[in-house]
Amino acid sequence: MVNPFKIFVLIGVVLAIALAVGFVIVVFFQTGAQPQSLPVPGTRLL
């Protein structure tokens, strides 16, 4: 038997890692890649 609580914890950890990675990528592209082409933060995420 698999403990359902462990499944929820695993999903939570995966989501937290995904959010952290996404946040780092967004910050990197907004600050490091082309800062001059981003007059308003959040206008260009890709």
Mean pLDDT by 10 residues, the chain (46 residues): 90 96 84 57 53
pLDDT of the residue at 18: 95
User: pTM of whole model > 0.75?
Assistant: no
Q: Two tokens at 15?
A: 């989501």
Residue 26, Cβ neighbours under 10 Å: how many? Answer: 14
pLDDT of the residue at 7: 94
pLDDT of the residue at 27: 81
